[in-house]
Each structure stands twice: as C-alpha cells, then as structure tokens.
Amino acid sequence: MIVYYKNETLLTKYLESTYDVTLYKDGGFLTKIGVKKRVYPDIYFHSGGLTELSTRLIKNSKVTIVNSTILKNNILNKLGIDGSSIEVILPAYEAKEYKKKDLQKVFKEENGIDPKAKIIYFTAKDFIKNGFAQFVGILQNLEMTNWKAVITAPDEKQKIYAQELLTHNKMLDSVIFVEKEVFEVADIFVLPTTLENFSLLVLKAMANKCVVFSTTNNNAIEIMDVFSIMDGPKDPNISYKIDMLLRVKGEMKKIKKENKEIASHFNYEYQQTKLNKIIEKLAL
C-alpha cells in the first residue's frame, strides 16, 4: 500500500512495521507535465493547514486520516467534498501508573512548595503562540493564594521570554521553572493557545489526572468538558473557575478523575484497532 505522512508518529511506525508499505512521492518532471500518470496514496495522514499538495492528496487518496472530527469538518467545509474518504483517529497517549500524591509530596519538598498548595502548570513548544502571556494574566487575576505555578520551557529562548514577562508583571516569585514536563505532579494545566490543532499536551494532562483549560482554537476540546473550554485565550472566566477549584477540593478531585477516565480510552491499542479496520474496509 502507498502511504504519505509529513510527521512520523507511533501510528505510522506501527503501520510500516505491520503492513507492506511504500512511501508516496509526489512525482517528478514527467509526472508534472503529464507524460507519466500520477499515482496517489492509498492512505494519507493529513496534518497542518491546507496547501495545494494536501488538497490534491485529500481529494485523490483512497482515504485521508485526520486527528479530530473538528479538523475533518473544517476540511469538508473548505473543500466542499463529502466525508466518505476522510477518517478520524484521535491522538493517543498512555500515562504510567503511579500515585500522584506521593510524587507531589516529593516534588513539593524538593522545590520548597507549601504541601497544601495546588500546582498550576504551563508548558508548550512556542510560548507566544500558546498563550503564555494570557497564562500569566490568569494567574494575576486569581484571588486564592494556595497555589504555585510551575513552568517547563523547551529551550533557553522560551525561558528567557517567560522570565522577562514574569519580571515585568512582578510574578517571578510565584513561579518555578523545571527542566522536564511534570504533568504527573500538576493539578491544573492551562493552555490558552491560539494555534488551530489538536494539542497532545491536553491529552497528556488529562491522562495524568489534571484539570485542563484550553481554548476553542484547540481541537482537543473534542475530548474536554464544556467547563474546561476557554472562550478564546483571554477568557475572563478562567481565573474565576480556577479560584472555585482552589476553594472546593471535591470538585477538583472529581474533574481530575473524569479526565483520566476519558483519556484512558485514547491509547495506542485504540489507534491501531481503528487503523486496522480502515485498512480492512479498503481491502488493501
């Protein structure tokens, strides 16, 4: 079978290790001038925006796989095509088994955090596009004080940007920086992103038993509760909602448990099973 993807994932690795796969090439000069017939993929894994190439691939591949129903509907609306050849396989993530309270206790002791404080977390590849400034604004508007913000910067550039912004807003003392992702000790993850995609960070946070807030830009809202969806990066209600969770211990615990249960369905077995059924249906 002929397959095309831009980004290698565990699912594409599984496909290549399980089936006889040839990677698609868009054709050379003879194909472009019409001397040689163009052959399209059997399976096209679409990600990112619509380009001339991706539009052709979506219209001509036997099946296009996207990572959210929201993205599928956007493509159908923009291209004016029916959805019979577009399939949805949501992202997958599997968290390790651990006791969150035990890891939090150690983390707080190591970093001098009050044992009773809740950890509000932020991380992203691009701090500007993923709303770090809005994250800081949310922290500034909190009335409760029983929290500590933790940030993981992917590189020195992002860290310097964050430190300068926090210093300007007189918030540096409310935050600690760590080198690695710490979803396993976080209580609340906030991602006020402006990027239109399905952020795997949301699924990671949910799988690691965090309350999650993110924007309608994020296609991950497909698996989120309405309470957790931000009406844009500057949603004024988020600080109020976080304050409520910091006051009401039981509500935070309930949402954490529900998020973990939802995320547990989106594992690697789910992805592989769905892909196998698509291939079976196509009789490839």
Do 232 and 132 contact (CB within 8 A), yes or no? no
pTM: 0.92
DSSP letters along the chain, please?
-EEEESS--HHHHHHHHHS--EE-----HHHHTTSS-----SEEE--SS--HHHHHHHHHSSEEEES-HHHHHHHHHHHT--STTEEE------PPP--HHHHHHHHHHHHT--TTPEEEEEE-S-TTTTTHHHHHHHHHT-----EEEEEE-SSHHHHHHHHHHHHHTT-GGGEEEESS--TTT-SEEEE-----S--HHHHHHHHTT-EEEEETTSGGGGGS-GGGEESSTT-THHHHHHHHHHH-HHHHHHHHHHHHHHHHTSSHHHHHHHHHHHHHHHT-
The one-digit pLDDT tens for each residue of the chain (284 residues) are 999 999 999 999 999 999 999 999 886 543 554 545 788 999 999 998 899 999 999 999 999 999 999 999 999 999 999 889 999 999 999 999 999 999 999 999 999 999 999 999 999 999 999 999 999 999 999 999 999 999 999 999 999 999 999 999 999 999 999 999 999 999 999 999 999 899 999 999 999 999 999 999 999 999 999 999 999 999 999 999 999 999 998 999 999 999 999 999 999 999 999 999 999 998 86
Distance CA 244, CA 254 (A): 13
